[in-house]
Structure 1
Amino acid sequence: MAVHHAATIVPTKAELLAAWVPAQPWAAGADTSSLTKVGSYRFDDPAGEVGVETHVLATADGQVLHVPLTYRGAPRAGGEGSLVTTMTHTTLGDRWVYDARHDPVYAAALATAIATGGREADLFLATPDGLEPQPASARVRGSGSGTSPAAGAWADPRVTVDGATSRLEGDGAALTVLHVLSTTTTVSAPADGLVLTGTWPGQEEPVLLAEHRLDAASGS
Structure 2
Amino acid sequence: MAIIHHTTLKPSKVELLAEWLPTRPWYVGTGTPELTKAGGFRLDDPAGEVGIEFMVAADGDGVAYLVPLTYRGAPLDGAEDTLIGTMEHGVLGKRWAYDGTHDPVLVAELLALIEGRAQAQAQSVDNTPDHEIARSCTATGELRAHGPAADDETGTDLTTADGSVLRLHRRLGGTDLPPSDALGHVSGHWTAADGTPARAVFVVLRPGSLA
Give the TM-score range, shorter chain: 0.7 to 0.9
Q: For the residues of structure 2 that align with 1:112 and 1:133, how far apart are their CA atoms? A: 18
Q: CA deviation at 1:60?
A: 2.0
More strand by share: 1
Kindly indicate whether residue 169 of structure 2 is the aligned counterpart of residue 178 of structure 1. yes
Report the equivalent of 2:19.
19
Q: Secondary structure at the match of 1:180?
A: coil
Q: For the residues of structure 1 that align with 2:122 and 2:141, how far apart are their CA atoms? A: 19
Report the equivalent of 2:201.
208
Aligned CA distance change for structure 1 residues 148 and 110 (closer, same or farther; 3 Å): farther
Whether contact under 8 Å (1:165, 1:177) holds in the other structure is yes
Q: Secondary structure at the match of 2:137?
A: coil
Report the equivalent of 1:85.
85
Report the equivalent of 2:53.
53
Q: CA deviation at 1:26?
A: 1.2
Report the equivalent of 1:143.
136
Instruction: State the identity as a percent.
Output: 36
Aligned CA distance change for structure 1 residues 192 and 178 (closer, same or farther; 3 Å): closer
Report the equivalent of 2:178.
188
Q: Deviations over 1:38-93 (max 9, x none)?
A: 11211111111111111112222211111111001111111111111111112112
Kindly indicate whether residue 150 of structure 2 is the aligned counterpart of residue 160 of structure 1. yes
TM-score, structure 2 normalization: 0.84
* 2:155 partner letter: T
Whether contact under 8 Å (1:3, 1:123) holds in the other structure is no
**What residue ranges of structure 1 are gaps of 5+ in the alignment?**
126-131
Structure 1, 49-58 or 191-200: larger mean CA deviation: 191-200
Report the equivalent of 2:43.
43
Question: Of the candidates 181, 187, 194, which is equivalent to residue 197 of structure 1?
Answer: 187
Report the equivalent of 2:101.
101
Kindly indicate whether residue 22 of structure 2 is the aligned counterpart of residue 7 of structure 1. no
Q: For the residues of structure 2 that align with 1:77 and 1:147, how far apart are their CA atoms? A: 32
Q: For the residues of structure 2 that align with 1:79 and 1:3, how far apart are their CA atoms? A: 25
Whether contact under 8 Å (2:138, 2:183) holds in the other structure is no
Q: Secondary structure at the match of 1:40?
A: strand
Q: Secondary structure at the match of 1:66?
A: strand
Q: For the residues of structure 2 that align with 1:84 and 1:165, how far apart are their CA atoms? A: 17
Q: For the residues of structure 1 that align with 2:160 and 2:137, how far apart are their CA atoms? A: 18
Q: Secondary structure at the match of 1:166?
A: strand
Q: For the residues of structure 2 that align with 1:48 and 1:15, how far apart are their CA atoms? A: 26
Whether contact under 8 Å (2:176, 2:188) holds in the other structure is no
